[in-house]
Amino acid sequence: MEKPEVFNWEIVPTYLHPPEMIIVHRVADLRKLVREQLNNGKTVGFVPTMGALHAGHGSLVKESVQENDYTVVSVFVNPTQFGAGEDLDKYPRTLESDAELVGGLGADLVFAPSANEVYPFASTEIEFGIRTLDNHFCGATREGHFNGVVQVVTMLFNMVQPTRAYFGLKDFQQFAILKRMGKELHFPIEIKGCPTVREKDGLAMSSRNTYLNAEERKQALFLHQSLNEVREKARSGSSKNELLEFVHSNATHFDKIEVQYFDVCDPDTLQPIEEIDPSKPAIALMAAFCGSTRLIDNLYLFDA
């Protein structure tokens, strides 16, 4: 099929993308295509995203293509995971280049629904209890965020019904919550975590990096650099308080940076660790504003 001159995906129900990748916008079309695969005994890998795709997302797609017969990528900027005053409206929407990228990596289908398709009953509110995994970090600083994430991933899992689903460990708390959700809700889906992909200088790739101006882009390195130093210090015996002090005083040298949270926690429970013990796994998590852009990153201090 020829590429339409004006790519208006709202009015183009299905669109054959070169070479053979298909974009669908309706759940019924998605189901039909995935069901055919499953009925033929094929495995289906699923990569949920909000689009504005980069090599970090690409690594999840590659992993899925390697491990499954058929790969579905969803592109949906989910309104229920954004809080008031967050960047829902300005979040970049680049469906055409997203499709190029994942098609080039071997994905078979892009599912790009409208908000009406995902939430046909605008009044439906679903509350998920995530217990204690969300009482710190992004859960504490973005009210309702993980409720929205669990809501949309549950819906997407029901729509796609994949064999495996792939998430980035860059969003470590999100991964921990979704892994737990998979177990608690008995989804017959293998949930896999993939390592963080970084720019050459170490900045974790993120769709939000496109918001940064040149100076902010330089200062954004604060996150990865201080996490690396934190790891060095923790491994040379620094206490938790010394690590906290280091991060907050280091931030004062970066005029665009404001640390929103930094702490060290148990990677299984996501509860802060008071005494750092090198014989136990520990991960440092950080969120910082760089100008008005909120960035997150993490680093294992001691592996499992």
Q: Measured between alpha carbons, how far is residue 173 from residues 196, 208, 261, 284 in Å?
A: 13, 18, 13, 11
Q: Is 25 a catalytic residue?
A: no
Smallest distance, ligand AMP to C-beta of residue 207, A:
5
Pair of tokens at residue 24: 């669908």
Angle of the 145-160 helix axis to the 172-184 helix axis, nearest 10? 50
What x-and-dash track marks residues 151-190 binding ligand AMP by CB under 6 A? ----------------xx-xx-------------------
Among 60, 72, 109, 301, binds ligand AMP (CB under 6 A): 60
- The answer to whether 81 contacts ligand AMP (rule: CB under 6 A) is no
Question: Which among 57, 136, 145, 253 is annotated as catalytic?
Answer: 57
First CA to last CA across the chain, in angstroms? 50
Cβ-based neighbour number of residue 166 at 10 Å:
26
Binder of ligand AMP out of 74, 206, 219, 238 (CB under 6 A)? 206
Among 194, 247, 265, 270, binds ligand AMP (CB under 6 A): 194
Closest CB to ligand AMP among 27 and 102?
102
Which residues touch 102 (CB under 8 Å, ≥6 apart)? 21, 47, 53, 57, 58, 61, 71, 73, 110
Q: Which of 61, 101, 150, 205 is close enough to bind ligand AMP by CB under 6 A?
A: 205
Determine the size of the site formed for ligand AMP (CB under 6 A): 17
Using CB under 6 A, which residues numbered 19 to 58 contact ligand AMP? Answer: 49-50, 56-57
Q: Give the span between the Cα atoms of 208 and 295, in whole angstroms.
A: 8
Q: The tokens of 300 are what?
A: 């294992």
Dist. CA 291–CA 96, nearest whole Å: 29
Nearer to ligand AMP among residue 142 and residue 170 (C-beta): 170
Catalytic residue IDs? 57
Which positions lie near ligand AMP, rule CB under 6 A? 49-50, 56-57, 59-60, 167-168, 170-171, 194, 196-197, 204-207
